[in-house]
């Protein structure tokens, strides 16, 4: 007898765990299989973006992230140096995470917590639901996608025994070399090798006292050849990650290369312990499709980008949130045939944009290889100070694109989604550093602080929310009844606050379970059932004439 689960998730990295947690939070049974034992040899991500923190808030785990052991007062400066005991060329100052304010558009702020702090938080969240099963040391071997279920062969990595698991849906959150993506025959397009990079996790308890740059999150090292190395403070304590940035040419850095890079960075020998070495290829790739039949991919399985901009995992967690409510809807029977197709239509364009922006950021970090520092930058003479200041100011300004990215973290939209009902207004430009809130259908529903201390975001979640805004808002009864008739979970919330009206610009706004706007107008639609059928994926939105007739 095979075991059956509604959703089988392959991979318990941050994206698989977030999807399992979101499904558990919605009461959807699922099973996660992970080939590893849950230990993280070398943490990759460490920046949790503001949108991901909004999801953590919804899930009730934002405090768990806040209380992670990364010290709140550890300065988050990014410093550009010739060496740790050489010259400082520039510095972008950021306070410790406990002292950073939320942006005005969000009730949350981004957080610094490396993967070996954040994955256990997501795991604890997923495990808190009885309907979620996590199976470690269990690898996907192969799968077959049938008309009404997927049959997966999985192997216990300790005993080598195999067994069969069946599922209504299979989601590959199994990372860069995804067996699910491969098994589904999905190709990736883009640039397969931007750099061959070597990451070295090392321990050095007194690192800040060994140099003159002070405590900072990231050091970027610029030599006569341009940018060659970075060092980041992984846990705000004794662990650091050095990255020998490399080039598109394949290279295998030896232990001697690693030790000489550390010596060059410090300007002398010092005591440290190498904890792990990870050789990896920085890529710019997006899957050509996000699903085939009953099989979907999410996270690094679907998109691979340079970490410059901290968009990788954060994009993947957005995937998980987009897919979570849609799987819930189809498993409960109210999601239409188009709903799961819309996952790829909505998320793939976001990945294409984020992947390209991450490569652009890499280009900025490496722009010193084209505009090499003048030799005086490395000279200890009074005349050199002005040349250093000039070069450093240019690089500091260049790097700002990477530090300020709310247009990506918060401003992604599903403008052309087949399940979003356009309101006829032109799409505002997509922003990069800045972010202007909009309630245009497809956008993240805006945050407005409510008098009771909540955010408007706290109103959205497991079902649809119909906001009735202002003193004369229509009742919304037509939409409520149409939703009830189709089995769509919905509740109406009346908000008579001018600041909510300013942010949402319409008297009736329908917000989806993932917090994106599905539809808005000042009046009830003439055919409310047509709107509900469109946003639940039962009837793809066809053309302007059809929209006109219904609204
Ligand atoms: C140096 C570096 C720094 C980064 N910093 C950031 C950052 O600050 N912010 C950010 O958002 N992103 C960052 N990223 C990117 C981020 O780490 C990834 O995007 C993220 O880890 C992807 O998560 P995932 O769950 O999709 O995949 P992964 O983390 O790769 O997890 C996939 C899991 O699937 C498992 N698996 C694979 N195959 C199988 C199988 N056949 N059966 C069972 N299990 C399987 C693997 O063991 C693994 O645990 C960084 C990346 C790097 C390299």
Question: pLDDT at position 131, please?
Answer: 98
Q: What is the pLDDT of residue 353?
A: 98
**Ligand 1 pocket test, candidate residues 20, 120, 133, 175, most atoms within 8 A of CB:** 175
How far is it, in rounded angstroms, from Cα 269 to Cα 188?
43
Residues with a CB atom less than 6 Å from ligand 1: 10-16, 33-36, 44-47, 139-140, 173-175, 179, 199, 280, 299-301, 307, 310-314, 316
Which of 488, 343, 306 lies closest to 19, judged by CA? Answer: 343
Q: Which secondary-structure segment (H or E) carries 91?
A: strand 88-92
Atom nearest to 316 CA in ligand 1: 26
Report CA(544)–ligand 1 centroid distance (Å): 41
458, two tokens: 């706290």
Q: CA 50, CA 15: separation in Å to the nearest integer?
A: 16
> What pLDDT score does 146 carry?
92
Is 0.95 surpassed by the pTM of this model? Answer: yes
Place of tokens 């920085």: 282
Cα 15 from Cα 176, distance rounded (Å): 12
Name the residue with tokens 């997927």: 150
Residue 444's pLDDT is 98
366 CA distance to ligand 1 centroid (A)?
24
Integer CA distances (angstroms), 349 to 48, 244, 286, 417, 505, in order:
21, 31, 9, 10, 26
Q: Measure the CA–CA gap between 274 and 202, rounded to whole angstroms.
A: 4
pLDDT of residue 540: 76
Read off the tokens for 344.
Answer: 């790829």
CA of 301 to the centre of ligand 1 (A): 9
Number of neighbouring beta carbons within 10 Å of residue 382: 7
Which single residue is written with the structure tokens 């939320």? 102
CA of 300 to the centre of ligand 1 (A): 6
* DSSP-assigned letters across all residues of 490-543: EEEEEE--HHHHHHH-SSEEEE-TTSBEEEEESS--SSHHHHHHHHTTSS----
DSSP for 216-270 reads -SEEEEEETTEEEEEEEESSSSSEEEEEE---SS-----HHHHHHHHHHHHTS--
- What pLDDT is stored for residue 520 in this prediction? 98
Inter-helix orientation angle 341-365/312-332, to 10°:
180
How many angstroms is it from 359 CA to the middle of ligand 1? 18
* Residue of 16, 17, 44 to mutate, ligand 1, most atoms within 8 A of C-beta: 44
CB 245 within 8 A of CB 195: yes
Q: Per-10-residue mean pLDDT for the chain, 551 residues long?
A: 91 98 98 97 96 98 97 98 98 97 97 97 98 98 96 98 98 98 98 98 97 97 98 97 97 95 98 97 98 98 98 98 98 97 98 98 98 97 95 98 97 96 96 98 98 97 96 97 98 97 98 98 96 94 60 64
- Other CB atoms within a 10 A radius of the CB of residue 187 amount to 10
Rounded distance from Cα 116 to ligand 1 centre (Å): 12
Distance CA 169, CA 232 (A): 39
Cα-to-centroid distance, 12 and ligand 1 (Å): 9
Spatial distance between the Cα atoms of 391 and 324, rounded to a whole number of angstroms: 47
Distance in angstroms (rounded) separating the CA atoms of residues 54 and 23: 17
Q: Which atom of ligand 1 is nearest to the CA of 300?
A: 26
CA nearest ligand 1 atom 42, residue: 139
């Amino acid at each position: 007898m095979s075991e059956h689960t509604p959703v089988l998730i392959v991979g318990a990295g941050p994206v698989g765990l977030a999807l399992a947690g979101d499904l558990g939070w919605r009461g959807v049974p699922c099973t996660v299989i992970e080939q590893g034992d849950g230990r993280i040899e070398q943490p990759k991500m460490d920046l949790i973006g503001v949108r991901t923190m909004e999801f953590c808030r919804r899930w009730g785990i934002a405090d768990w992230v806040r209380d992670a052991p990364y010290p709140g007062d550890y300065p988050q400066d990014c410093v550009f140096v010739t060496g740790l005991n050489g010259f400082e060329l520039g510095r972008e100052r950021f306070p410790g995470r406990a002292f950073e304010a939320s942006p005005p558009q969000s009730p949350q702020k981004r957080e610094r917590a490396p993967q070996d702090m954040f994955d256990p938080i997501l795991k604890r969240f997923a495990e808190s639901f009885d309907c979620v099963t996590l199976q470690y040391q269990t690898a996907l071997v192969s799968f077959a996608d049938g008309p009404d279920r997927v049959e997966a062969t999985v192997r216990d990595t300790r005993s080598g025994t195999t067994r069969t698991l069946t599922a209504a849906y299979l989601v590959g959150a199994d990372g860069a070399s995804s067996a699910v993506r491969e098994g589904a025959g999905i190709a990736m397009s883009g640039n397969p090798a931007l750099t061959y990079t070597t990451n070295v996790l090392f321990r050095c308890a007194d690192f800040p006292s060994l140099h003159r740059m002070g405590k900072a999150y990231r050091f970027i090292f610029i030599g006569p050849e341009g940018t060659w190395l970075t060092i980041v403070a992984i846990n705000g304590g004794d662990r650091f990650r050095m990255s020998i940035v490399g080039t598109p040419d394949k290279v295998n850095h030896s232990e001697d290369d690693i030790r000489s890079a550390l010596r060059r960075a410090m300007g002398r020998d010092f005591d440290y312990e190498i904890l792990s070495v990870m050789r990896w290829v920085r890529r710019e790739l997006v899957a050509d499709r996000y699903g085939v039949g009953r099989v979907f991919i999410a996270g690094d399985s679907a998109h691979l980008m340079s970490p410059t901009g901290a968009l990788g995992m954060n994009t993947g967690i957005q995937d998980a949130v987009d897919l979570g409510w849609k799987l819930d809807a189809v498993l409960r029977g109210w999601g239409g045939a188009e709903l799961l197709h819309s996952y790829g239509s909505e998320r793939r364009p976001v990945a294409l944009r984020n992947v390209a922006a991450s490569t652009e950021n890499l280009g900025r970090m490496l722009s010193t290889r084209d505009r090499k520092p003048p030799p005086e930058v490395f000279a200890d003479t009074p005349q050199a100070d002005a040349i250093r200041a000039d070069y450093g100011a240019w690089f500091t300004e260049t790097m700002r694109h990477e530090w300020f990215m709310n247009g990506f973290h918060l401003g992604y939209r599903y403008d052309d989604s087949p399940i979003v009902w356009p309101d006829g207004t032109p799409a505002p430009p997509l922003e990069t550093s800045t972010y202007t809130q909009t309630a245009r259908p497809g956008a993240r529903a805006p945050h407005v602080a409510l008098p009771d201390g909540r955010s408007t975001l706290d109103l959205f979640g497991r079902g649809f929310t119909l906001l009735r805004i202002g003193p004369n808002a229509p009742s919304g009864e037509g939409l409520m009844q149409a939703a009830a008739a189709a089995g769509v979970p919905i509740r109406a919330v009346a908000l008579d606050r001018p600041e909510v009206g300013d942010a949402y610009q319409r008297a009736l706004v329908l917000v989806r379970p993932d917090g994106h706007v599905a539809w808005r107008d000042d009046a009830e639609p003439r055919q409310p059932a047509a709107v509900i059928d469109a946003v639940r994926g039962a009837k793809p939105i066809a053309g302007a004439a059809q929209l006109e007739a219904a609204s």
